[in-house]
Amino acid sequence: MSIDSFKEKILIIFFSHSGNTRKIAKQIYAIIGGDLIEIETTDKYPADHSEILEKARKEIAAGYRPALKTKIENISKYDLLFLGYPNWWGTIPTPVSAFLGEYDLSRITIAPFCTHGTGGLAGTVEALKKQCPDSKVLNALGIRNIRVDEAESDILKWLSHINEFMK
């Protein structure tokens, strides 16, 4: 399956704690190109799975937005933003919320992709739409963590739909 060239100026931006979302972002980048940027926080998250779950739960409950190391010059030059994140407690991670709060994405189309354990997309897309009410948010791609290494056909199908929509 091939994908016609996207004509839009593309940014693939993602937050990845365990590396799963990074793998999907790199696969998307290999297929369509664009600019690839990782959302990084100034303070590192714990490596231990139980610790990160507890920290994420507390941050989400408090509405906390961590300071970001990642800065983007002239985000308005992009037409299409592929936004990748893991499902944290049924919503978008706080570093992604922090990113969304720092930039005006009102004229940018957002194509979300989410990695997850067993929670699927849960409330992630709704949270994204709530935080970016003036952005066009396309159908999201959800990839279960155990399928990250076998996700190419799902990614291609999703990208093909987005490419058709953007024409």
**CA-only gyration radius of the chain, Å:** 15
Please give the Cα distance from 95 to 26 (Å, whole number).
19
**Into how many domains does the chain fold?**
1
Q: Identify the pLDDT of residue 68.
A: 98
Answer yes or no: is 37 within a domain: yes
Answer yes or no: is 31 within a domain: yes
Answer yes or no: is 1 within a domain: no
How high does pLDDT run on average in the chain? 94
Q: DSSP readout, 57-96?
A: HHHHHHT----BS---S-GGG-SEEEEEEE-BTTB--HHH
CB–CB of 3/163 below 8 Å?
yes
Answer yes or no: is 27 within a domain: yes
Q: In angstroms, how far is CA 129 from the centroid of its own chain? A: 13
Q: Identify the pLDDT of residue 2.
A: 46
pLDDT bracket for residue 4 (50, 70, 90)? low
Helix pair angle (49-62, 94-102), 10° resolution: 40
Listed in order, strand segments (DSSP E) in the chain are 10-14, 35-38, 80-86, 109-116, 136-137, 141-144
Q: Are strands 136-137 and 35-38 parallel, antiparallel or unpaired?
A: unpaired
The CATH number covering residue 50 comes to 3.40.50.360
pLDDT tens string 58-76: 999 999 999 999 999 999 9
Model pTM score: 0.94
Domain that holds residue 72: 10-166
pLDDT tens string 84-104: 999 999 999 999 999 999 999
CB–CB of 62/68 below 8 Å?
no
Answer yes or no: is 109 within a domain: yes
Answer yes or no: is 5 within a domain: no
Q: Name the percent of the chain lying above pLDDT 70.
A: 98
Answer yes or no: is 28 within a domain: yes
Q: Which residue has the higher pLDDT, 152 or 8?
A: 152
